[in-house]
Structure 1
Amino acid sequence: MTPSDASTPRLSVVVATFNRLPLISRLLEQFAEQTLPPGQFEVVVVDDGSKEPVREPLLAQIRPFTLRVEVQANAGAAAARHRGVLAARGEVVLVTDDDMQVASDFLERHLEQHPPGSRNVVLGRIRPDPSIGDMPLFERWYAYLNHRMAEELSVPGARARGNHLYTGNVSFRREDYVGVGGFDKSLGQSEDVELGVRLEKAGCAFVFASDAYVLHGSDHVSFERWLKRANRYGMFDTQVARKHPDVRGVNPWRLLFETNPLARPLLAATVVAPQATRLLTGAVMNAAKAADKLGLEKAAFAGTSVVYGMEYLRGARSEAGGWTGIAREVARYLQGQRGR
């Protein structure tokens, strides 16, 4: 059961979910404890084709806020979030993930970053769940990257950009989202970054709000699936770069020029011989794991970054379609460098 839908909320929270009923239930319990009055927000959950029913168990619970649950055949996170934003009634939409946890002032912190007349895109901080230490090295590496980006954006004078956008913790005006066409549902990865680029081009201002944080755990434990995601990011970032050739920060070939010089030979070797270097990728990951066991976290994360970059560039190379395509993409990056 949910309260009456008679009044229009100030804020709509959109959460896509897939086969995670316990996690989305936990998140909804935390939304019930928000300092923002329940009449000022709603939650729109989009079930992206979960095997077990989600709608009925969620709506069976009494909650102080309006909850609506949309159900669709599995079409991916971008399509699910898009459906949720279109169904939202609030002026401001906040998108987060079903495996997040939030503090009681989470929604209030986001709303205060959207004063009347503003066109802000607010990036909240993603902090690791305290149990992250029990997760595999590659998941702790993700948490490290989130922390590093948050620290960089927290420096006075630092400027958040469109290509920083991530869907784990972001809010924006619904009107701006609809105005730029929403998520590109043809992208299997990086649809968040691509949306951010279009929002920035449309005149939105990006704001980093460290106090509007979420805690992120993870149920990803497969190294093979992690590698596959890296490969897909390389593929789809290539597509994003083609859509936005004027934005250097989305060009996947930047890794060859911006990565630590010590890692560049390994990345270049992967581009030249993507299959022959797979054993080398495994050896680097084994070295990273060994460093991790010895407590050498910095070295372990550095090795994990190299492994990710190698698989990422395999994906970019595949999408580029051969040496002619690679040369075109690299030239586009270099032209962007000269145009800075």
Structure 2
Amino acid sequence: MDKLKAAVVIPTFNKKERLLLTLESFRYQTVSPDTFEVLLVDDGSADGTREMLQEWEGEFSLRYIEQNNKGRSAARNRGVEEARAELIIFCDDDMIAAPTFVEAHIAAHQERPCAAHGMIYNLPFLKFFKNPSTGEAYEELDGESLVLIRRYCIRKEEIKDISYIKSLSKKTLIEKNIASIFKNNLAQYQWLSFTGANSSCEKELLERAGMFDEGFGKAWGAEDFELGYRLYLQHTPFVYLEEGYNFHMMHARMDFQDALRKSNDKFYRMHPDKKIYFLPKLLSGEIKSIEEYKDYVNSHTINEYEGD
């Protein structure tokens, strides 16, 4: 217990095929296995996640916590509450962690408490597949057109070779913008880096900010940005990590635009800030760069936008 430095909190819901690869990636961390624990909070999965984990074995400490389906905010909060380490690292159940993932997050907090964001790469071809290892496709997406891209599937045995996985990945527009925010020291936008897929923060800071707002419920949305915004309001330093990177095993999301709008509406009602109100324009790619977005926010009023 004396060596335990970080707790990796992973909420999961009905993604056992991707989760298996996520857990596999924590076998190959550059820090000792007794340096961190993984808290897997199962938010009411009904796809055999529990049974899959009964057969899974790893060298690091994995604690499995079950709860009724309440949403990602509640699952992450449960993980923070149960964690035995002061440093909390957030990761999602569809991410492959680079070997330096845990080490980089721990190092970021050595000088002072902060909120740190690790670079996220996307694995775009995996979005067609229910099982990213076997190439089993989502029923609504299956077809002959997927035959050629099945070669980009990632088997468990390939997790160790991060260079191969990196060769299949690309940076998303939002990740490029997050990097630009830090490069240009746009402190008023650094809260956009607080994403549940790859962030870390001291438990004390999270508790002082009020933890994740469980009012976002089960819907996908802006609950991580919203907590990041509250951390920003309490003057938390933000840090960007290039070595604390991981890879998003993309998956089908048919309701992206609608879910984004609804969750951002709630976010704005909680914090009536123009930077939040116009945020869907940046996240959807309608506005491409953070510099262009900053200019847009400064030059438009909410009433003007609503009248378009």
TM-score higher than 0.5: yes
Aligned partner of 2:144 in structure 1 is none
The aligned runs of 1:54-203 (5 Å cut-off) are 54-116=49-111, 118-129=112-123, 131=125, 144-153=172-181, 155=183, 157-159=185-187, 161-187=190-216, 188=219, 189-203=221-235
Question: Match for 2:270: what amino acid?
Answer: K
Instruction: Choose from 224, 231, 252 the match for 2:278.
Output: 252
Instruction: Choose from 250, 259, 263 the match for 1:236.
Output: 263
For 2:114 and 2:54, the matched residues in 1 are separated by 32
For 1:11 and 1:62, the matched residues in 2 are separated by 20
For 1:145 and 1:237, the matched residues in 2 are separated by 19
**CA offsets, 1:98-156, max 9 Å, x none?**
1111221111011110014x1210011111227469799xxxxx953234224413525
Question: Match for 2:234: what amino acid?
Answer: A
List alignment gaps of at least 5 residues for structure 2. Answer: 130-140, 142-169, 288-300
In structure 2, relative to structure 1, the CA distance for the partners of 1:42 and 1:252 (3 Å cut) is same
Matched, 1:210 2:239: no
TM-score of the pair, normalised by structure 1: 0.65
TM-score of the pair, normalised by structure 2: 0.72
Query: Is contact 2:173-2:285 (8 Å) kept?
Result: no
Alpha-carbon shift at residue 306 of structure 1 (Å): 4.7
**CA offsets, 1:222-271, max 9 Å, x none?**
5xx2xx332232222222222222x332123885xxx8xxxxxxxxxxxx
Alpha-carbon shift at residue 194 of structure 1 (Å): 0.8
Give the structure with the higher percent helix. 1
Aligned residues: 250
In structure 2, relative to structure 1, the CA distance for the partners of 1:207 and 1:238 (3 Å cut) is same
In structure 2, relative to structure 1, the CA distance for the partners of 1:202 and 1:333 (3 Å cut) is farther
Question: Match for 1:232: what amino acid?
Answer: A
Question: Match for 1:97: what amino acid?
Answer: D
For 1:130 and 1:233, the matched residues in 2 are separated by 20
Aligned partner of 1:52 in structure 2 is 47
Percent identical: 28
Query: Is contact 1:109-1:211 (8 Å) kept?
Result: yes
SS at match of 2:268: helix
Query: Is contact 2:42-2:75 (8 Å) kept?
Result: yes
Greater RCO structure (CA 8 Å; 6+ sep):
2
In structure 2, relative to structure 1, the CA distance for the partners of 1:78 and 1:333 (3 Å cut) is farther
What's the RMSD between the two structures over aligned residues? Answer: 3.1
For 2:24 and 2:279, the matched residues in 1 are separated by 43
